[in-house]
Amino acid sequence: MNTITKPLLSVRGLCKHFPVMSKGFLKKQIGSVKAADYISFDLMPGETLGLVGESGSGKTTTGRTILRAIEPTSGQVLFNYGDEALDLATVPLARLKPLRTKMQMIFQDPFSSLNPRMTVRNIVAEPLIIHGLAKGRELEARVDEMLVKVGLRVEYRMRYPHAFSGGQRQRIGIARALIMRPKLIIADEAVSALDVSVQAQIINLLADLQEEFGLTYIFIAHDLSVVKHICDRIAVMYAGRIVEIGTTDQLFNNPVHPYTQALLTSVPDPDPDKRMDFGLKGEVADPADLPSGCSFHPRCPVSVERCRTMAPEFVHNPNGGASCHHMRS
């Protein structure tokens, strides 16, 4: 018997480059925004991987490209489901459709992602109705069961999103995502807009639901302190690339990459679109016009001559790895 557990997801060299077009009548491609560039990692079933980095580092693009909400430029996203390993990046859309129920996204702002004209019952029931997975009494029972699981009162099912607090609205968003019994959840800044005490409640809820439903998470956040409590491993992104990946313990106690080290001392603004208060000089690299060599070199406090001309290789270790010339010297 084969007892080796396979990763649920193996991402290999995944790229999303947005074309930059010239202005005027005859549009020509004059460059590209390397929003996600050669992203590679494995995600084991039941694991939680954090994806962290400053605003514009490519976290959302990576998440959306994995789920093929946007078309990848190149690379593989192997999704092991049952006995099959399908490449989500290239599988025909007709075959992708049934798999979409197995992968769901939870967003930062539950208010704008929930239709204000739909009742909670309709918001949570809609995915089951669209996919024809339940109707009648079974449908109502599944909605009510899910509301209870996410900590909402069944009596509120006919209310509209505006009647709820931010934390409760995020619970509605979670109920809608989980009603399809997915395997993989990508939570994109799911708690960033919430007060700190409510953040903790939602993180605890996600952790409980993970255990109950055997979920695997990619947890995107710009704030390392948020991911610390829920993630098994963390990937740090800078200018479209993963610069370091390791266990949460490793990353917090023994960060290798100078950018990870800087991130650990930063004081993030609750708004994921605002700049962080860094001890670093300079602006975050522009993925449409990346610096030569190591993209981080203009800001790196320990850069050396070759950092300007030579991109460091990613050096692997059993739990991940990092890309910095100092790892080899």
Q: Indicate whether 56 belongs to the interface with ligand ADP (CB under 6 A).
A: yes
72 binds, among Mg ion, ligand SF4, ligand ADP, none (CB under 5 to 8 A by kind): none
Could you tell me which residues come within 8 angstroms of residue 82 by beta carbon, excluding any fewer than 6 positions away? none
Q: Indicate whether 53 belongs to the interface with ligand ADP (CB under 6 A).
A: yes
Which residues make up the interface to ligand SF4 (CB under 6 A)? 257-258, 294, 296-297, 300, 302-303, 307, 312, 324-326
Q: Indicate whether 59 belongs to the interface with ligand ADP (CB under 6 A).
A: yes
CA gap 169, 160 in Å, rounded: 10
Taking the complex as a whole, how short is the minimal distance between the CB of residue 282 and ligand ADP, in angstroms? 16
Which strand (E) or helix (H) includes residue 211? helix 196-213
Binding span for ligand ADP by CB under 6 A among 54-62, 178-186, 198-206, 245-253: 54-62
Nearer to Mg ion, 5 or 225 (CB): 225
149 binds, among ligand ADP, Mg ion, ligand SF4, none (CB under 5 to 8 A by kind): none
Strands (E), 248-323: 315-317, 320-322
Quick one: tokens of 122? Answer: 């309709």
302 binds, among Mg ion, ligand ADP, ligand SF4, none (CB under 5 to 8 A by kind): ligand SF4
Residue environment code for 43-69, b if the CB has 16+ CB neighbours within 10 A, otherwise e: beeebbbbbbbbbbbbbbbbbbbbbbe
Nearer to ligand ADP, 56 or 167 (CB): 56
- Cα 31 to Cα 134, 177, 222, 288, distances in angstroms: 47, 36, 27, 7
Taking the complex as a whole, how short is the minimal distance between the CB of residue 195 and ligand ADP, in angstroms? 22
Nearer to ligand ADP, 61 or 216 (CB): 61
228 binds, among Mg ion, ligand ADP, ligand SF4, none (CB under 5 to 8 A by kind): none
Closest CA to 78 of 65, 87, 69, 70: 87
- Cα 319 to Cα 9, 124, 184, 311, distances in angstroms: 15, 37, 20, 22
Q: Which of residues 58-87 bind Mg ion (CB under 5 A)?
A: 59-60
Nearer to ligand ADP, 113 or 201 (CB): 113
Which strand (E) or helix (H) includes residue 51? strand 48-52
Nearer to ligand SF4, 58 or 72 (CB): 58
18 binds, among Mg ion, ligand ADP, ligand SF4, none (CB under 5 to 8 A by kind): ligand ADP
Quick one: tokens of 178? Answer: 């989980």
192 binds, among ligand SF4, Mg ion, ligand ADP, none (CB under 5 to 8 A by kind): none
Side-chain half-sphere of 123: how many Cα atoms within 13 Å?
29
The strand pair at 184-188 and 103-106 is best described as parallel
Could you tell me which residues come within 8 angstroms of residue 19 by beta carbon, excluding any fewer than 6 positions away? 29, 31, 32, 33
Q: Indicate whether 33 belongs to the interface with ligand ADP (CB under 6 A).
A: yes
Binding span for ligand ADP by CB under 6 A among 49-57, 77-85, 168-176, 275-283: 49-57
Q: Which residues bind ligand ADP (CB under 6 A)?
A: 18, 33, 35, 53, 55-61, 287
